[in-house]
Structure 1
C-alpha cells in the first residue's frame, strides 16, 4: 500500500472520518486527469518539511480551524497521475510508482499526485494537526518575483491585494467589471438564452464582496444546472443580506451537483 497525505480544512475532518475524502478537484491533462474529479495527494517522505510542503500555500485559504493532514493508504496498483503543479500533461502511472518517482527527485517541491476518484473512509488512516508555517507560498522559489494577481493566486482581503490588482490587473481575473456592467451582461445572457455567458458573468460576480441579490435570485430556478452551481459559487462570500436564505433554498435543489455546491459553501462559511 502506498501512503499519501492530503491537506485540507479542519472543518472537513468530521465528514472525512464519516465518509472519506470527496472528489472535488479537477485533474490536469487530456488523459486520466480529464476523466472526472478527484483528490490531490502527496507521498509521505522521510522529511516532514517536504511531505507537508503545500501547507503554507494552502494556509492562504485555510478555512475554519486551519488545516489538518489526512494520511491515506492507496493500493499500489491504483491508477494516478504525477507531476509538477504546472505540468500540462502529468504522467499516468500507479500509486506505488508515483511514490518512487517523487522520492527519487532532487527537488520534489511543487509536485503532486492526482487520484481520479474519492478516497473511501476505509483508506483514511489518520487525521493529524500540522504546523501551519511549513513550505512555500505561491510557488517554490517565489521570493523576489513579481506576484501573480490571478484568482487562483491572490487571497481576498490580503494586505495590499487591492492596490496590487489595480496596478497589475489580470486579463481574466480582475478587478471585476462595475456592477452595472455585470448586471447588463446577465440580463443580455438571459434574454439570449446564453448559459455560457451567464456563467461567465456569475464568475465575475464571485470576485465581488456584494451584489444585487434580489436581481440574481431568480437564477436559482434556471433550467441549466451549471448556472445554478455558478450562482452558489458567486454568492457564497457575499455580505449582502439574504445570501443565507438563498443557499438554504438551493440546498433542496433537485440536482446533486447544486446540493453539493451548497454543502461546500456551508463548510467554507462555518465558524
Structure 2
C-alpha cells in the first residue's frame, strides 16, 4: 500500500473521517479527483504544499490527511507546471518522487474520490511548512507581470507601484480604453480592440455593458479577448455575457470560456 498526504482545512476533518475525500479538484482534461503527495522521509518536503495552499484562502488551519492507496491504483504524477503528467501506478509515483534530488513542486493526482476506508489518519501540522509562490521564490525579485502577480493579494498594489512591469504596468483608465475602442470604428480594428481588452482583463470589475457589443464582432480573436477580459469580473451581468460567449460559433472562443470556468 502506498501512503500519501492530502492537505485540507481542519473544518472539513469530521466529514473526511465520515465520508472520505470528495473528488472536488480538477486535473488534466477536466478530470475530477484528489491532489496529494507521497509521505517522504523529509517532513518539510512531505508537507511542502501547505503554505501555498493557505495563500489561496483555505479556511482556518490545515490538517494532514494520510491516505493509503493500492500500489496498482493509477495516478497522475509530475511537477505542477507540466500539462502532460504521466499516468503511473501509485507505488511507481512514490518511487519516482522519492528518487528526485529536488521534488519541490511535484504533485500526485488521484482521478477519483478517496473512500473512507482509505483514510489512515488525520493529524494537525505546523502552518509554516513549505514554499510560497514557487520553489526558490524566497530571495528573488518578485515579478509583477499579469501572469505572476496575485490579484488582491496582501501588498500587491504597493508592489506593482514600486516595481512596475514594462508590459503589464499600471492599466490606463477605463474611460481611456473605452475611447480607444470607440475610435477603432465599426466593427473596429481587431488589433486595437484586442490591445484595449487586454488591459480590461487586468481589472476585477469593468463596464461590461459598454463592451457587450464586441460579442458580435466578426473576428474570433476579438471575441476570445472579450472572454478573457470579463471572465473573472465580479461585475453583475458579466457572467451572462460569458454564457453568451460559451455558445460562440468559433471553437477557440468556446474553449477559452471552458478554461475560465
- TM-score, scaled to structure 2: 0.61
How many angstroms apart in 1 are the aligned matches of 2:165 and 2:13?
Answer: 35
State how far apart, in whole Å, the 1-side matches of 2:11 and 2:146 are. 23
Measured after TM superposition, the shift of residue 50 of structure 1 is: 1.9
Alignment of 1:255-266 (within 5 A): none
* Paired position in structure 1 for 2:37: 42
Tell me the equivalent position of 1:109.
104
Q: Is it true that 1:78 corresponds to 2:80 in the alignment?
A: no
- With over 3 angstroms needed to count, the CA separation of the structure-2 counterparts of 1:163 and 1:254, relative to structure 1, is closer
CA shift, 1:235, in A, is 0.8
Determine the C-alpha separation between the residues in 2 that align with 1:43 and 1:54: 12
- CA shift, 1:113, in A, is 3.1
> Per the alignment, in what secondary structure is the counterpart of residue 113 of structure 1?
strand
Q: Secondary structure at the match of 1:235?
A: coil
1:225-240 pair list within 5 angstroms: 230=228, 233-236=231-234
1:54 is matched with which residue: 49, 56, 60?
49
The count of corresponding residues between Structure 1 and Structure 2 is: 242
Match of 1:149 among 144, 147, 156: 144
5+ long unaligned stretches in structure 2: 248-253
Deviation of the 1:135 alpha carbon: 1.1
Paired residue secondary structure (2:142): coil
In structure 2, relative to structure 1, the CA distance for the partners of 1:173 and 1:92 (3 Å cut) is: farther
CA RMSD of aligned residues (A): 5.1
Structure 2 CA distance for partners of 1:249 and 1:107, relative to 1, 3 Å: closer
Deviations 1:61-83 (Å, cap 9, x if unpaired)?
22554656565555534152323
Q: In 1, Cα distance between the equivalents of 2:185 and 2:30?
A: 28
Is the 8 Å Cα contact of residues 227 and 245 (structure 2) preserved in structure 1? no
2:22 maps to which of 20, 23, 30: 20
Larger radius of gyration: 2
Q: Superposition pairs for residues 180-199 of structure 1, below 5 Å?
A: 180-183=175-178, 191=187
1:85-100 equivalences under 5 Å are 85=80, 93-100=88-95
State TM-score, norm by structure 1: 0.59
1:1-40: per-residue Cα shift (whole Å, max 9, x none)?
Answer: 5443444677998999698233535x5xxxxxxxx13565
Q: Is the 8 A contact 2:62 2:124 kept in 1?
A: yes
- In 2 relative to 1, CA 207–250 (structure 1 residues): closer, same or farther, beyond 3 Å? closer
